[in-house]
Each structure stands twice: as structure tokens, then as C-alpha cells.
Amino acid sequence: MPKMPGAKINNFINLSAVLKKKILLIFNILNQKKYLFYFILLAFFFTVYALVLGQIKHHTKLKENNFNSFLESNEFNNIKEYFFENLNSPYKEHNYTVVNNDTLEKILKKYNIKNSEINKIAVEVKKKKLFNIYAGTEIKVVTKKEKESNRIISIFYPIDGITTVEIKKNKDEFRVTKNVLKLNRKEVVLSNTIKNNLYTAAIQAGIEPNIIVEFANIFGFEVDFQRDIRTGDAFEVYYEQFVDDDNIVRSTGKIIYASMLVNNKELSLYNFENDSRKGYYDVDGKSVIKTLMKTPINGARLSSSFGIRKHPILGYNKLHQGTDFAAPRGTPIMASGSGVVLRSQKYKGYGNYVSIRHNSTYVTAYGHMSKFGRGIKKGVRVNQGRIIGYVGSTGMSTGPHLHYEVIKNGKRINSQRLKLPSGKILSNEARNKFEVERIKIDVRLAELRNNS
Ligand SMILES: [Zn+2]
């Protein structure tokens, strides 16, 4: 039989004209009955779903798995959500991000909740002191729509990395429960080679930012992270993690051992906790922290201490934010600790002034100098004891003296009351204990390196 494509096309056109009419009719009904439309679509969808499911049963296990993954796919979930949203479920889930000055009351008012209900919840939460949350926290609120207002079904929010709060309606009362994750202590050893900077390399190695900061602090007296680090330098850090049952890190503990290879020199530091000698020590039991000198000048007399005093030039009472040492003009002044020169210049009433950054916490400053030490310029690295200048009377000063300041985290503190762990070497019993501890750490370190 010869084929008759023309007839087929005509049939098709007729058919589609009929279809069009039918579709128009359906749309008319749908405009009036929106929900009927959703119902039909849903019914259609489930019919297809059932058919496909029936088909699947005849297929291989592999195909079944594929289908399951489709059901779990975003596409399927989107369709599902679309239907549920439009079916006008009385239950709604709200995700709210806390902003500054939010209170639980303020947040709940946004969801048209009865005041009486809000008050009940607020009282319960306050009783248990569980609403100390920070801006940025995600709160999940599930509400049920009623005639005039919404009712709370549940509220859920985290207070910190391991604690969450759940508020659930139980008849007419609200039950507030605090859930604390059980954490397991874990020891890890992570290392990397530095290409750009320590921070990037450490992040790449999977080290948590607070451990990186701690690491930088430990080495702060030994390594200048801006200047000393070269491509190819390396580090290793052995520390505590606290993980939940899913092995997700929820918090970190102390650094047990840290090592840096800088310019082919290796410096390994061990955490040692022994009474007042708590801190980090090298293989020889020498403390990494070198104390800042109380008196960075020889043969001087303390002439004015830190505190309120009558200013010798201004004449009125003023907080003296440093310590003065009277000494003959030209007496050498030493860097009270190793660090990098921040300033070496004339500076305000200080006259000739030098400041040194020792680590991320401490800066020291020296004023009224007659002249600067040789080579003391901004950015130069100095060791403890290096001569940075000479006593003078430049700036706002009545006679030759050194004005010495210790600045901790940007705040001037009394240098004479400064309590820094000494940089001395452990001896006798403390040294023996340290040796035992150090060997234990080395053994554990070797095990952990082999495991990873
Ligand atoms: Zn002074």
C-alpha cells in the first residue's frame, strides 16, 4: 500500500483542533477551580509515578537504583514542594536569620503568633537561659495556620557548635529541650608545604582557622610570618579535635606539637603543662616565649612609674601610660624582646621614637631618644638586647630619660607588673618530666603520621 502522508496530516490537524477546544474548556474550568486543577495534576502525576513504579519492578536492580536516585533528586523535590505549597498546607516552615538586637519575641511576632503564646514560650526559654544567640544564627519555626493567627508547632535553633534548642508544643504547654552533642576527642597530625603564605597552606591542609591563629601565636617569638617565610617552607601540627558521631569536627582543643621548617631550619615545639611552666618548649626544654625585659636599659633608675601623676610639663593630672627611667644622655637602650620595628621616627610628644612588634599580642615603645641605633628602621627585625637607640630628652621631656611602654593587644599596660612566662630552660625535675612527655608525643606523632 502506498503511503498517504497528506491524509495523515489532515487527520492530525482535525485532531489538534478538537484538542485545542478541549484544552480551552479545561482551562476555563481551571480558572474557576484552581484547586481542582492541582488535584488533577497531582492525580496525573501519581498515576505516572505508579505506572513507572510498576514498570520498574520488571527491570533490573540497577535501574531501580537509578529511579530511586531520581526520586531523591532536586528536580523531584522541587515538583513535590511546588505541589505542597500550592495545596495550601496549614503547616509552614520558616527559616529566619537572626540580626543584631533580635529577641525571640521580636522574631515570633513576624509570624502572626498570638501574644499569649509568644509570652508562654519566652518565659520558658528565659527560665532555662537559652536565648543567648548571635546575629547570623538560623532559626527554624514551624507554624500552623488557624483562623485569625498562627500557632507555633516547633522552634529549633543552635546556640553554639554543639548545643541546639528545641521548643515543641505539648498540649497547651511548650516544652523546651536543650540538646548537647556528645563529642569524641580525636588527635590529628596535619602538614603542608607553603607556597604563598602559612594561612593558605594551612587551610588547604584542612586545619581549622582558630588552630592556625594559635599556631602563629606559638611561633610568634621565633618566626616573622611576613618576612621569614619562603616558598618550600613547611609546617606540621598535631592537635586535638572534638568530633560528633558523624565524625564532623565541632570544636578544637590544644596544639600538642607544632613544627616549622623555615629556611632549612627546623623548629619543633612541644606542649608541656607543669605548674607555672605551662607552655611550648623546644627539644632542649627551652621555652619558646622570651620574656620582655622589665628594664631595657642598664644602669638606669626608675623615675616615674605607670599610673596617674601630675604631668611635669602639662601640669595637670594625667595617666602616665609608660615607665620612665632616668639615665645619662647617650645611655644605650635595648630591644626588650625580639621582633620587627614598627616605627623609627620623630613621633608626637615622644620625640625620637621606636616601636617594636614582638608577636600578635605585644608591642613595646621607646621615647625621647637622643638618636636611633644603627640600622634601626621600620621593618627591620631585631633580637632581644639589640641597641635600638640612646637616651635623650627629645619631644615633651624635662630631662634625659627613657619613656618605655608595653602595649598588649593595643592597650598600654604596666611593664613593671608584666607577667610573661620566662624563656628559661627547664631543669631538674621539670626537665625530666618534660623529657618523658616529649618522648610520648614523638611516639604518638609517628603513629598518627603512619595512619594518615
Ligand atoms: Zn614617660
Mean pLDDT (the chain) is 82
Sign of the CA dihedral with 404 first, then 408, 411, and 414 last: negative
Q: Residues with Cβ < 8 Å from 295, sequence gap 6 or more?
A: 302, 325
Cell of 323: 615607665
pLDDT tens, residue by residue, 313-341: 777 777 889 999 998 899 889 898 888 99
Q: Give the Å distance between the CA of 335 and the centre of ligand 1.
A: 17
Q: Give the Å distance between the CA of 312 and the centre of ligand 1.
A: 10
Q: Give the Å distance between the CA of 402 and the centre of ligand 1.
A: 7
Residue 10 CB-density burial (10 A; 0-12 exposed, 13-18 middle, 19+ buried):
exposed
Q: Which pLDDT score, from 0 to 100, does residue 374 have?
A: 93
Q: Give the Å distance between the CA of 320 and the centre of ligand 1.
A: 6
Q: What's the rounded Cα separation, in Å, for the pair 274 and 430?
A: 7
Q: Give the Å distance between the CA of 345 and the centre of ligand 1.
A: 17
- What does DSSP assign to residue 277? G
What averages of pLDDT result for each successive group of 10 residues across the chain (452 residues)? 44 56 63 67 72 56 48 51 55 87 90 91 87 85 86 89 86 86 91 89 90 80 72 96 88 94 93 78 84 76 81 77 90 89 96 93 95 95 88 94 94 83 79 95 95 74
Q: Give the Å distance between the CA of 303 and the centre of ligand 1.
A: 9
Q: Give the Å distance between the CA of 311 and the centre of ligand 1.
A: 9
Q: What's the rounded Cα separation, in Å, for the pair 79 and 198?
A: 47
Q: Give the Å distance between the CA of 369 and the centre of ligand 1.
A: 12
pTM over 0.75? The answer is no
If we measure between CA atoms, which residue out of 276, 259, 293 comes closest to residue 426? 276
Q: Give the Å distance between the CA of 167 and the centre of ligand 1.
A: 59
Q: Which pLDDT score, from 0 to 100, does residue 257 have?
A: 98
**What residues have a C-beta under 5 A from ligand 1, the ion?**
322, 324, 403
Q: Give the Å distance between the CA of 431 and the centre of ligand 1.
A: 41
Q: Give the Å distance between the CA of 366 and the centre of ligand 1.
A: 9
Q: Give the Å distance between the CA of 321 and the centre of ligand 1.
A: 7
If we measure between CA atoms, which residue out of 324, 354, 356, 351 comes closest to residue 338? 356
Q: Which pLDDT score, from 0 to 100, does residue 8 have?
A: 45
Q: Give the Å distance between the CA of 135 and the centre of ligand 1.
A: 43
Q: Which pLDDT score, from 0 to 100, does residue 235 have?
A: 96
Q: Residues with Cβ < 8 Å from 193, sequence gap 6 or more?
A: 201, 232, 233, 234
Q: Which pLDDT score, from 0 to 100, does residue 41 have?
A: 73
Q: Which pLDDT score, from 0 to 100, does residue 361 have?
A: 86
